[in-house]
Amino acid sequence: MIQRNHSDDRLLQQYLDRSMSPEELDSFEARLCHEPELAERLITFASDDLVLAEWGASLEREQQQAVSAVSTTHPVSGQIFNRANRTVVVSGMASIFSVFLLLGGYLLFQSVLSSPRVNTQERVVFSSGEPVENHIKQTLNEGSAELHFPTGAKVLISAPASYEVTGNNSMHLQQGSFIANVPSSGIGFQVDTPHGRVIDLGTLFSVQTVEKLDTRVQVYRGKVIASLMNRAGGVQSSKQLSEHQSATINSTKNEIEEADDSLSLAEKCGILHLSDSVVLQESMPDALATGKYQVFEHDGLAFVFPERTQVSLKSDLELVTQPAETRSKKRAGVITAGTNVDCYRIYYDPAQKEGAYIPVLGEIHFDRPILGVILDRKVLTQTDRLFHPLCRNDSNRLFIHQGTETDTGGKDPKARYDEVKISPDRRTLSFMLLSGERFVDEFRVIVRSPQ
């Protein structure tokens, strides 16, 4: 028979849950200092809490995977819905969604029964679920590929690239670039390149390798350790990189160089300041540029991509110049022909919560006047020939856009999911985008080109 003091159990849990009164707290902490067995039980309780938290998170992931796995068999799957049709879609999906939930619950129940492991996948898979064999060289000639590691790390690789998975939390990038999102469960995620090694410490970072040149590492969130490797495969020197820092591992010069950090990159792009919720990327990945989406999925984090610069307008361009206004006449404006403009795409695609809408609040301060924004999906498509990077060589290419839900013309203010504002001095763009797992928000910002 196992004897336990249930009263102490309750106190221990209340202590961890921070639900004690100040008097109870003082008294209990005094007991912890003088009763070693009680302190040990607190550690055990805290350890159980960690396991339960990981288990809870894994159940959530399983539910999402089960629902999305089932939904891929449905004809409407794979599409990103226009939120204008959400009401119809939601009501149409309601009945089958309940079936998904039941089936998802069943799959979850089965998988929980069959395995006591926290991780739902034991090997690295592509985002499609297809497994990736370890130590097999993969070549990506076009588009992008997203790898999901069992530790929770997600890596989006852009073509052209050559890489191989070397373990459950490691990979080798011979050539190409990727952006990695590594949660705390994936701390220690390791990337080897021909020039060095990057060890992640829970972060969002990117790696770009040119096989015969160098490896560039850029950190957006958290920390990584970048190392220069010697010919014997040992670590020669290391550098810790924090948020907004970047470095180049140069094996020819035999050093890790401080590279232009992302703020300098921002300055090159005419951006003086970005709020913490906005990440600037030098170029748009093909998957996103071609409208496939489902990449760069991050809750509460928006991306900004420079699309094209020094575009000389051959005719007047109609767009939204006063996005905070509700009346369409007041919102609309024109940039006159002959003006040189730069174009940026703002992109937000949350991933975690099926059925939930997750906001992101962002601010971007430009060093030049913001002439206007393009928020509507149709106008985005119409202006692709001017601004889309892939239309540079073929202006007739067509791409699907999602746009935002700010421009309802004031007819139905309740339908305004998103908010975009330009400051009175027209240098600061601020936005609140509300989106969900199956939706994307995106819009263009048009800024006057430097003289």
Interface residues with another protein (CB under 8 A) are 2, 4, 6, 9-10, 13, 15-19, 22, 25, 29, 32-33, 36, 39-40, 42-53, 55-57, 59-60, 109, 112-113, 116-118, 169, 184, 187-188, 190, 197, 199, 201-202, 222-223, 225, 227, 232-236, 238, 240
Q: CB of 184: closest distance to another protein in angstroms?
A: 5
Q: Would you say 45 or 81 has its CB closer to another protein?
A: 45
Q: CB of 413: closest distance to another protein in angstroms?
A: 28
Give yes or no for a contact between 199 and 224, defined as CB atoms under 8 angstroms apart: yes
Q: Would you say 193 or 321 has its CB closer to another protein?
A: 193
Spatial CB neighbours of 50, under 8 Å, sequence gap ≥ 6: none
Q: Would you say 36 or 424 has its CB closer to another protein?
A: 36
Q: CB of 269: closest distance to another protein in angstroms?
A: 29
Which parts of 286-412 fold into alpha helices (H)? 286-289, 328-331, 377-382, 384-387
Separation in Å, CA 221 to CA 201, 202, 203, 206, 365? 10, 8, 5, 10, 20
Q: Would you say 247 or 386 has its CB closer to another protein?
A: 247
Q: CB of 384: closest distance to another protein in angstroms?
A: 38
Neighbours of 138 (CB within 10 A): 17
Q: Would you say 43 or 337 has its CB closer to another protein?
A: 43
Give yes or no for a contact between 436 and 418, defined as CB atoms under 8 angstroms apart: no
Phi-psi region of 155 (alpha: psi -120 to 50; beta: other; left: phi over 0): beta
Amino acid at 33: C
Q: Write out the two tokens for 116.
A: 């006591």
Q: Would you say 29 or 316 has its CB closer to another protein?
A: 29
Q: Would you say 150 or 323 has its CB closer to another protein?
A: 150
Q: Would you say 143 or 188 has its CB closer to another protein?
A: 188
Q: Would you say 51 or 90 has its CB closer to another protein?
A: 51
Name residue 181's beta-bridge partners.
154, 204
Q: CB of 136: closest distance to another protein in angstroms?
A: 21
Q: CB of 297: closest distance to another protein in angstroms?
A: 16
Spatial CB neighbours of 245, under 8 Å, sequence gap ≥ 6: 218, 219, 258, 261, 262
Ordered strands of the 317-320 beta sheet: 278-280, 302-312, 340-348, 441-448, 370-374, 317-320, 332-335
Burial of 395 (0-12, 13-18, 19+ CB in 10 A): exposed
Q: CB of 219: closest distance to another protein in angstroms?
A: 12
Give yes or no for a contact between 107 and 62, defined as CB atoms under 8 angstroms apart: yes
Q: Would you say 25 or 125 has its CB closer to another protein?
A: 25
Q: Would you say 276 or 419 has its CB closer to another protein?
A: 276
Q: CB of 289: closest distance to another protein in angstroms?
A: 32
Q: Would you say 14 or 138 has its CB closer to another protein?
A: 14
Give the span between the Cα atoms of 329 and 333, in whole angstroms: 8
Amino acid at 296: F
Q: CB of 112: closest distance to another protein in angstroms?
A: 6
Q: Give how far the C-alpha of residue 278 lies from the chain's centroid of Cα atoms, to the nearest Å.
A: 10
Q: Which helix (H) or strand (E) holds 274?
A: strand 271-274
Neighbours of 384 (CB within 10 A): 22
Q: Write out the two tokens for 118.
A: 């926290």
Q: CB of 188: closest distance to another protein in angstroms?
A: 3
Q: CB of 246: closest distance to another protein in angstroms?
A: 17
How would you classify the pairing of strands 246-250 and 215-229?
antiparallel
Helix, strand, coil % (nearest 5) of the chain?
Answer: 30, 35, 35
Q: CB of 42: closest distance to another protein in angstroms?
A: 5
